[in-house]
Amino acid sequence: NVEGELIDILQEVGFSYDYILLNAGGYTHTSVALTDCVKAIETPVIEIHISNIYAREEFRKKSLLSPNCKAVICGLNLDSYKAALSTL
């Protein structure tokens, strides 16, 4: 993941899709710029994590993105993506 590239893509498509499924990896906990981008776009974002971020290191339990997302799905391994798609 390259933070700037993720932001560029979100800005490009953030007004033209019904939903965006986003696994921001480590940027979930650190990127104010990515958080600001998610706030600024109109398309609802579903935050996805393969692991259960609440069962990991302390710093991973705080997502900067979550308050700006329509939903958060985590801990289902790759099925997290299927779960997100089933909510659409």
Average pLDDT of the residues in 38-61 = 96
Measured between alpha carbons, how far is 67 from 18 in angstroms, rounded to an integer? Answer: 19
Give percent above pLDDT 90 in the chain.
95
Domains of the chain (ranges, CATH numbers): 3-86 (3.40.50.9100)
pLDDT > 90? residue 63: yes
> Span 23-52, mean pLDDT?
97
pLDDT of the residue at 88 = 87
Which is higher by pLDDT, 30 or 1?
A: 30
- For position 18, what pLDDT does the model report? 95
In this predicted model, what pLDDT tens digit does every residue of 64-87 receive, in sequence order? Answer: 999 999 999 999 999 999 999 998
